[in-house]
Amino acid sequence: MWLQSGALLVAVGRGTAADTACARWTPSTDTWANGGDLPFTATAPSGVLAAGVLLLRQAEDGTVYAIVSDTDSPTARERIYLVSSADDGDTWATVGECGFVGGSPVYGVKGRWWRTASGTHVMVLIGPESIQTWTSEDATQWALAGTLPDIYAYGSGPHPSADVQMTSSGHLLYVYAVDGDTDATVCRRCAPTQDPSTAAEVTVYAPASGNPVRDVCLFATQTGRVYVWIWLNTSAAGTVAYWTDDTGQTWAGSAGVAALDDNTQGDLRRAVPVDGGFAVLR
- pLDDT > 80? residue 268: no
Confidence of residue 265 (pLDDT cuts 50, 70, 90): very low
Over residues 166-218, the pLDDT tens digits come to: 999 999 999 999 888 888 899 999 999 999 999 999 999 887 777 788 888 89
Give the pLDDT score at 142.
Answer: 98
Over residues 109-162, the pLDDT tens digits come to: 788 999 999 999 999 999 888 999 999 999 999 999 999 999 988 776 567 889
What are the backbone angles phi and psi of residue 198, rounded to the nearest 5°?
Answer: -90, -5
Rounded mean pLDDT of 15-39?
A: 85
Give the pLDDT score at 108.
Answer: 66
Q: Which residues contact 119 (CB under 8 A, 6 or more apart)?
A: 137
Higher pLDDT, 31 or 209: 31
Max CA separation in the chain (angstroms): 52
Confidence of residue 264 (pLDDT cuts 50, 70, 90): very low
Rounded Cα distance, 148 and 68, in Å: 22
Higher pLDDT, 74 or 59: 59
- pLDDT > 50? residue 49: no
Higher pLDDT, 122 or 223: 122
Confidence of residue 267 (pLDDT cuts 50, 70, 90): low
Higher pLDDT, 81 or 107: 81
Query: Which of 63, 100, 94 minimizes the C-alpha distance to 81?
Result: 94
Give the pLDDT score at 19.
Answer: 73
User: Are 40 and 54 in contact, with CB atoms under 8 Å apart?
Assistant: no
